[in-house]
Amino acid sequence: MSQNKKALVTGITGQDGAWLSKLLIDKGYEVYGASRRNSNRNMYGLKYLGIEDKVKIVDFDLLDYSNIHDVITSIQPDEIYNLAAQSFVAASFKQPISTSMIDGIGVAYILDIVKTFLPKTKIYQASTSELYGKVQETPQTEKTPLYPRSPYGVAKQYAHWMMINYRESYDIFATCGILFNHESELRGKEFVTRKITDHVAKYSLGNKAELRIGNLDSSRDWGYAKDYVEGMYMMMQHETPDTFVLATGETHSIRDFTNYSFNAINVEVRWEGKGVEEKGYDSKTGELLVVVDPSYFRPAEVDILTGDASKAKKVLGWEPKTKLDQLVKIMVEHDIKLNS
């Protein structure tokens, strides 16, 4: 029983921060939610999950060593879940330096503060399947060589190896979850899945604008965020710090995800053309639904990701529970309610 344990969750206003805090609160943890000072903090996720009044919010910025030091040493958490990041890959090409500072150096700050002041505190780092980038083998496991393809991926690789280095050098409980894409009704709307489900929801409510999308051929291994935060928690309860992949093992293209989303409102998409000329039409009415917009293409793309989570299954007993069609349905139904 983990009653009275204290957890510091960074990135509390993000998708995973909300889902993980709900899980920790249900387990009896005292949860401190770390969030950047902001004129209008996004508390939608915490409200949606009914825990807004149960999380203690603390001002926290991964760019500020003294702030991180004060937060960690005053709370003295048993567990730190570092979920905060500039997490949008496309933005990392436009803001490579700040992304490197937040997603890379910010993690080094946490590690060094824990090593110096609270060496018994466990740390979880949100590593990512973007580390595999231009994939060197399929499916990807904990042993697959890394080849990141964006400033985001490169910064996360630095953080990932700093975690391993502190684990090996100083006996810090520093655990990394290499999570493949996970989505939910709390996903930010700039990410492709939520962009699509939000669009389809608005379309079903009468807004007939076309969906403007980037690379339709790109493929991802998508799971449900609610399942994945269970894996994070399990990693932190394991007797030793380690690195684990969480994934479904199934890969679908952006085109597939678009099909599933329109299917959720009983619309079948018929695809015609190739490359930037490809278009999606309503198969019954012939109405134009989807066009390719090259402004969403990235300078370097991660074409396809497929994870192998056998180690997490064998060692932790973790398995994803939600299939992609169920996930799409949850997201589209949520977005229809939200837009109504």
The site partner of 192 among ligand NAP, ligand G4F, none (C-beta below 5 to 8 Å per kind) is ligand G4F
Q: Which two tokens stand for residue 211?
A: 């969906």
Closest CA to 76 of 5, 172, 135, 126: 5
**Angle between helix 225-237 and 15-26 (nearest 10):** 60
Instruction: Decide: is 69 part of the binding site for ligand G4F (CB under 6 A).
Output: no
Residue 179 in the binding site for ligand NAP (CB under 6 A): yes
CB of 253 to ligand G4F, least distance (A): 9
The whole-angstrom distance between residue 243's C-alpha and the CA centroid of its chain comes to 17
CB of 57 to ligand G4F, least distance (A): 23
> Which window, 83-91, 264-272, 276-284, 298-306, contacts ligand NAP (CB under 6 A)?
83-91
The Cα–Cα gap between 196 and 31 comes to: 32
Stretch that binds ligand NAP, among 14-22, 51-59, 133-141, 202-210 (CB under 6 A): 14-22
Helices within the chain (DSSP H only): 15-26, 44-48, 65-75, 89-94, 96-100, 106-117, 151-170, 192-204, 225-237, 254-263, 310-311, 324-339
Burial of 166 (0-12, 13-18, 19+ CB in 10 A): buried
Distance CA 16, CA 187 (A): 9
Q: How far is the CB of 89 from ligand NAP (least distance, A)?
A: 9
Q: Contacts with ligand G4F in 263-322 (CB under 6 A)?
A: 296, 298, 301-302
DSSP code at position 55: S
Residues annotated as part of the active site: 128, 130, 152
CB of 131 to ligand G4F, least distance (A): 8
Indicate which of ligand G4F, ligand NAP, none lies near residue 89 (CB less than 5 to 8 Å, by partner kind). ligand G4F
Residue ranges in contact with ligand NAP by CB under 6 A: 10-17, 35-36, 38, 42, 60-63, 83-87, 102, 126, 128, 179, 181-182, 188
